[in-house]
Amino acid sequence: MDFSSLLIFAGVYFLAVASPGPSIAALVARSLATGFRRSLPFAAGIVAGDLIWLSLTALGLAVLMQSFHGLFVAIKYAGCAYLLYLAFRLWRAPAGALEQAPAARGEGWRLFLGGITLTMGNPKVIVFFLSILPLVVDLSALTPLAFAEIAALITAIIGSTLIAYAYAADRARRLVASPRALRRINRLTGGVMAGAAAAIAMRG
């Protein structure tokens, strides 16, 4: 791809990922509740989900997979169920308990897979890769080098955007010291995650 085409793609993709949606809401809620570092596996899963969608689209399999409607419905509701599980934990957690306690064994992988599941079933992501991406990128002329360039751009753009959101949420949490306020943050972020799950379930 020529430089101007890459710039166009980068601009369109940045606007798509930077606009708040269920994935951003869930990530911010996670960072607010447990801190920046413990939100990174979830962010990595979201990045991996976008790269999977890019691969499916580049291979011409994304449109074919639309015929497996039941599979995507199952993936979508699995992602919603995971968000509701996290929301329940946050709502019930004592103030600061999740941040002070060591990460549970395997938590990072569960968060990573949760991020992938959420992304694979997110209607906003599906619409971008099935409808918007083909308008910006000539998929019929996509070479391995062009694919690698786009994959690198996706990783850099969404990765830096998610890290910025998570870091800002972590900084905001550290400004609060009162246990009562921390408990309210836990419950607020739990509500945000539940709302994100509802938004995904009702769309698409």
pLDDT of residue 62: 56
pLDDT of residue 162: 95
Q: What is the pLDDT of residues 77-103, one digit of tens each?
A: 776 777 777 777 767 766 554 445 455
Instruction: Show me where the domains of the chain are located.
Output: 3-7+21-202
Q: What is the DSSP letter of 105?
A: T
The pTM assigned to this predicted structure is: 0.76
CA distance 57 to 175: 43
